[in-house]
């Protein structure tokens, strides 16, 4: 499959995934990005049928409301946990440690429905990837094992988990809610043996296995394991 990446300000990505009935948009990047996203879909000659949000940080949901206004009938999908963050409910669940980090601007749009790990969205399998946010999801294209990993990994300034700050692009790790959970998710995603890593920030990396292993190793050295949460 061809990966269709839309990049804003050279640091934030959205993706268009081709399906038989049209396109699935993964994330919406920053505010004022609806136009370039719609243009990219136009170039592919197919309608955007659904928008999947990997998590509710503002640099991923920024153009959601504008896109929903421009795409009547479009379906909007997000995990139940991050749906609350999308609605600007920033309370933590009982047992959730630490505090939320990063920007949660919220959106007027409410999801059409929420999605759980193991569900399919067209060719994409929903994979739990909590840690960066409590309800982050990744998406695995079962046709070729392209992994849309959200902010579980960043590739800007080198492949890195968001459990540990990468000095060359610290933002995603600084916006991460719970590092031990993020590290556990990074391991789970590695175990899926993706052929291609398509992150929220940075370029798409082919055959990412060795780079993911190295990133996990770097983060393991500085992240406490014992505090890791049970996976939802």
Task: Write out the residues near Zn ion by the rule CB under 5 A.
Answer: 57, 151
- Cβ 194 to Zn ion, closest distance in Å? 19
Q: Which residue is nearest to Zn ion (CB)?
A: 57
CA separation for the pair 222, 71 (Å, rounded): 44
Q: Which is nearer to Zn ion, 36 or 103 (CB)?
A: 103
- Cβ 149 to Zn ion, closest distance in Å? 12
Q: Which is nearer to Zn ion, 126 or 152 (CB)?
A: 152
Q: Which is nearer to Zn ion, 66 or 151 (CB)?
A: 151
Cα→Cα distances 182→74, 131, 132, 140, 160, Å: 31, 4, 6, 18, 11
CA separation for the pair 62, 41 (Å, rounded): 18
User: What angle do helix axes 179-191 and 209-220 make, rounded to 10 degrees?
Assistant: 150
Please name every residue paired with 5 in a beta bridge, in sequence order, or none if there are none: 15
Q: Which is nearer to Zn ion, 141 or 151 (CB)?
A: 151
- Cβ 57 to Zn ion, closest distance in Å? 3
- Cβ 20 to Zn ion, closest distance in Å? 30
Closest among 91, 27, 90, 94 to 62, alpha carbons compared: 27
Residue with the two structure tokens 């190793």: 217
């Amino acid at each position: 499959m061809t990966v269709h990446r839309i990049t804003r300000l050279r640091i934030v990505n959205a993706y268009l995934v081709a399906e038989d009935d049209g396109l699935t948009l993964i994330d919406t990047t920053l505010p004022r990005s609806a136009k370039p996203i719609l243009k990219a879909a136009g170039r592919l000659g197919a309608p955007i049928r659904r928008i999947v949000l990997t998590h509710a940080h503002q640099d991923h949901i920024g153009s959601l409301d504008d896109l929903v206004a421009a795409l009547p009938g479009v379906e909007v999908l997000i995990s139940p946990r991050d749906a609350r963050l999308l609605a600007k409910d920033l309370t933590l669940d009982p047992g959730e440690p630490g505090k939320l980090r990063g920007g949660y601007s919220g959106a007027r749009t409410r999801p059409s429905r929420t999605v759980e790990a193991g569900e399919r969205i067209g060719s994409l399998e929903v994979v739990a990837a909590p840690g960066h946010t409590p309800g982050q999801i990744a998406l695995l294209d079962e046709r070729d094992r392209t992994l849309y990993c959200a902010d579980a990994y960043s590739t800007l300034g080198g492949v890195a988990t968001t459990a540990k700050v990468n000095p060359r692009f610290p933002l995603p790790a600084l916006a991460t809610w719970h590092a031990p959970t993020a590290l556990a998710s990074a391991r789970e995603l590695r175990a899926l043996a993706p052929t291609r890593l398509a992150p929220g920030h940075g370029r798409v990396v082919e055959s990412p296995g060795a780079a993911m292993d190295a990133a996990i190793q770097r983060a393991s050295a500085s992240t406490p394991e014992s505090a890791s949460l049970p996976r939802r």
